[in-house]
C-alpha cells in the first residue's frame, strides 16, 4: 500500500507517505506558508522512498473542518493529483486526526473518550466527540459548529474524557457539566498528515475512497461553498 496524505486544515502544513506499512512525514507550523511548502514536502517524501507519483495507490487529505483557505489548498492539490494520476482519494476528518493524536500522545485506554474543539472564529468552535476503540477514534455524534456555551458530551459510558484542540482555550465558556467531566485538556494539538494517513489507510480498506471530483472539503458552515474541478457536475 502506497498512500500519500496532505493536511493544511490549520496553522500546520504537513504531508505523510505510507509505504508498505512505514510512515514518513514532513510537518511545519506556517500559517501563511501552505502553498509554498506543500508540494516541496510531497516531492521530498517521494524522492526519499524512490517513488514516483505514478506509483501511488491512493491519496488522502484532511477534509476539515478547519481553516477555509487551508482546506481549499489541500483539496485543490489532491484533486489535481488524483485527476492526473487517475487514483482515488480518501477524505479524513481533521477532528478525527487530532483525536487519534490524543489517543497516542496520552496513551488512552480502550473506551476512553476525546472531545475535540477547534477555534472556528466568530465566537464558535468546531466540535467532535470520539471514543477509543481498538486504538482508533470512533465518532460518537455528528461533528458541528456552535458557540462554546452550546457544546455537549454524548451519553456514553466512559471512565475517562480528555479535551484537545485550540477550541479548549474557551473552556471557561463551556457548560459546567462538560468542564467537570473532561478531566484533562491539551489545547496544543493540531491536525497532522501522519494521523490522516493512518485513518485513510483504514478508510481505504473500508471502501471510503472516492474519485477526484468527489474529494470535497467539509466546512460544516453552510454558507461556504467549494467549486469542483472545471467541467465537472
What is the number of structural domains in the chain?
2
Which structural domain, as residue segments, surrounds residue 51? Answer: 2-93+191-214
Same-domain check for residues 85 and 101: no
What sign for the dihedral angle of Cα 45, 49, 54, 60? negative
CA distance 5 to 162: 26
Same domain, residue pair 43 and 86: yes
Domain match, 174 and 200 both: no
70 and 102 share one domain: no
Q: What is the pLDDT of residues 123-172, one digit of tens each?
A: 999 999 999 999 999 999 999 999 999 999 999 988 899 999 999 999 99
Q: Are residues 88 and 199 in the same domain?
A: yes
Residue with cell 517513488: 51
Q: Evaluate whether residue 223 is within a structural domain.
A: no
Residue 232 counted as domain residue: no
Q: Is 218 helix (H, G, I), strand (E, B) or coil?
A: coil
Residues 87 and 101 in one domain: no
pLDDT in tens, 41-68: 999 999 999 999 999 999 999 999 999 9
For residue 224, being part of any structural domain is answered with no
pTM (2 d.p.): 0.93
Q: Are residues 143 and 158 in the same domain?
A: yes
Domain membership of residue 233 (yes or no) is no
Q: What is the CATH number of the domain that holds 152?
A: 3.30.420.40
Residues 82 and 17 in one domain: yes
Residues 209 and 197 in one domain: yes
Classify each residue of 63-74 as buried b or exposed e, where b means 16 or more C-beta atoms within 10 Å of its C-beta. Answer: bbbbbeebbbbb
Same domain? For 19 and 89 the reply is yes
Copy the grid coordinates of residue 218.
Answer: 467539509
Dump pLDDT digits (tens) for 166-219: 999 999 999 999 989 998 999 999 999 999 999 999 999 999 999 999 999 999
User: 156 and 49 in one domain?
Assistant: no
Q: Is the confidence at residue 226, as pLDDT, over 50?
A: no
Same domain, 158 and 175: yes
Specify the DSSP element, H or E, that contains 11: none
Within a domain: 106: yes
Amino acid at each position: 500500500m502506497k498512500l500519500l496524505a496532505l493536511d493544511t486544515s490549520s496553522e500546520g502544513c504537513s504531508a505523510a507517505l505510507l509505504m508498505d506499512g512505514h510512515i514518513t512525514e514532513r510537518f511545519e507550523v506556517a500559517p501563511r506558508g501552505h502553498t509554498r511548502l506543500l508540494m516541496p514536502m510531497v516531492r521530498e517524501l517521494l524522492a526519499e522512498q524512490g517513488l514516483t507519483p505514478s506509483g501511488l495507490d491512493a491519496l488522502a487529505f484532511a477534509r476539515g473542518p478547519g481553516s477555509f483557505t487551508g482546506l481549499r489548498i489541500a483539496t485543490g492539490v489532491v484533486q489535481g493529483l488524483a485527476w492526473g494520476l487517475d487514483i482515488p482519494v480518501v477524505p479524513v476528518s481533521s477532528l478525527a486526526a487530532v483525536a487519534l493524536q490524543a489517543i497516542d500522545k496520552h496513551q488512552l485506554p480502550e473506551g476512553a473518550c476525546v472531545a475535540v474543539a477547534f477555534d472556528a472564529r466568530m465566537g464558535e468552535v468546531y466540535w467532535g466527540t470520539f471514543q477509543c476503540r481498538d486504538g482508533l477514534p470512533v465518532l460518537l455524534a455528528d461533528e458541528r459548529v456552535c458557540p462554546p456555551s452550546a457544546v455537549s458530551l454524548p451519553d456514553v459510558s466512559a471512565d475517562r474524557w480528555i479535551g484537545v484542540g485550540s477550541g479548549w482555550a474557551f473552556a471557561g465558556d463551556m457548560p459546567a457539566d462538560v468542564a467537570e467531566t473532561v478531566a484533562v485538556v491539551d489545547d496544543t494539538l493540531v491536525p497532522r498528515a501522519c494521523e490522516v494517513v493512518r485513518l485513510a489507510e483504514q478508510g481505504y480498506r473500508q471502501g471510503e475512497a472516492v474519485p477526484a471530483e468527489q474529494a470535497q472539503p467539509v466546512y460544516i458552515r453552510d454558507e461556504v461553498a467549494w467549486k469542483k474541478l472545471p467541467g465537472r457536475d
